[in-house]
Amino acid sequence: MIRGEKATFRRRLGFIGIGYLGSRIARRLVDAGFSMVVYDRDHSKTGELAALGAEVAMSPEKLAREVDVVLSCLANDAAVEDVYLGTSEILRNTKPGVQIMEMSTISPETSRRLYQAARQRGVSALDVAISGSTPAAEAGKLTLFGGGDREVFEGATPIFRAIASQWFYMGPSGSGVAMKLVVNTLLGVEMQAVAEAVALGSKLDLPRDLVLDTLAKTAVVAPALTGKLASAKKDDYTPQFAVRLMHKDFGLILAAASQFGLSMPATEAAAAINSKEAASGIEEDFSAVIHRMEANG
């Protein structure tokens, strides 16, 4: 969406889950001119959006009754199932014709269950998985992977333009989150490889800052990780993509592989180190495996 251009998408949006990514996405939608209702179980997280003009719902059920499109960005499969199918009963409170855009990283199976349950109530559901951390979300430069009915996905283009630089329709329900698991396999394994390379550089008596600066300028480090090297120079592991979320994603990836008897030795090794870091209980970025490899090397 062009700077200064306001949305002409007339349907009212509801957003559930004002976390690291959800808060940035919801803010961009408000700034773009969308009529918004927001909800988070931690009501303090909705204050900034309320100041910008969003209505705050006191419950998911109330939000569902007032909007035409429900977007959600939640922590895991259990949270998604609870919001839509469990105690919050979003589906019981939506009217036919409402669209759901579920943006959490969850299993394809959970996405397909939500799709089928929504369809039975005359509601459409997309899984629109997000690739990109908080800086990309703030800049509206996310990448999106969609699963569900193509025409519904294509009809959501005005929303996508406000939050993403590119979006891809991947196929039927569950395909969007499936692609996210593919992408995060590379992300997690590459981050572990970078951590090991940095630790090796130190053992070879190379200046740490020089190693980090030089790696960031080489073609072998993915663009998504170059900013992590700059933060690591300052030993700054403030979460942009929390290690606990990468830990959850590794679990989804390996569970999917196990269903097909697929061996993923590099992923399993990276997941083991990530798991040790996540077990610290510290809310830090997934790039903190750099610190772990340096400390244990």
Q: Give the pLDDT confidence score for residue 3 in this predicted structure.
A: 41
Superfamily covering domain 179-296: N-(1-d-carboxylethyl)-l-norvaline Dehydrogenase; domain 2 (1.10.1040.10)
> Which helix H or strand E contains 165, and what residues bound it?
strand 164-171
Catalytic residue (one of 62, 95, 141, 180) = 180
pLDDT < 70 regions, the chain: 1-9, 297
Eight-state DSSP code of residue 271: H
Q: Give the pLDDT confidence score for residue 5 in this predicted structure.
A: 44
Query: Is 180 annotated as catalytic?
Result: yes
Segment 181-225, tens digit of pLDDT? 999 999 999 999 999 999 999 999 999 999 999 999 999 999 999
pTM value is: 0.94
Q: Give the pLDDT confidence score for residue 89 in this predicted structure.
A: 81
Q: Give the pLDDT confidence score for residue 178 in this predicted structure.
A: 98
Q: Give the pLDDT confidence score for residue 80 in this predicted structure.
A: 96
Q: Are 228 and 194 in contact (CB under 8 A)?
A: yes
Rounded Cα distance between 6 and 35, Å, is 11
**Could you state, in order of their start, the residue ranges of all structural domains in the chain?**
13-172, 179-296
Q: Give the pLDDT confidence score for residue 88 in this predicted structure.
A: 81
| Phi and psi, residue 14, nearest 5° | -120, 140
Of 3.40.50.720, 3.20.20.70, 3.30.70.1900, 3.20.20.10, which CATH number belongs to 13-172? 3.40.50.720
Q: Give the pLDDT confidence score for residue 9 in this predicted structure.
A: 63
Q: Give the pLDDT confidence score for residue 297 in this predicted structure.
A: 57
Segment 105-147, tens digit of pLDDT? 999 999 999 999 999 999 999 999 999 999 999 999 999 999 9
Rounded Cα distance between 87 and 81, Å, is 9
Q: Give the pLDDT confidence score for residue 1 in this predicted structure.
A: 40
Q: Give the pLDDT confidence score for residue 87 in this predicted structure.
A: 83
Q: Are 18 and 40 in contact (CB under 8 A)?
A: yes
Q: Give the pLDDT confidence score for residue 202 in this predicted structure.
A: 95
| Phi and psi, residue 279, nearest 5° | -65, -15
Rounded Cα distance between 74 and 242, Å, is 13
How far, CA to CA in Å, does 100 sit from each of 32, 75, 149, 215, 216? 20, 17, 12, 41, 39
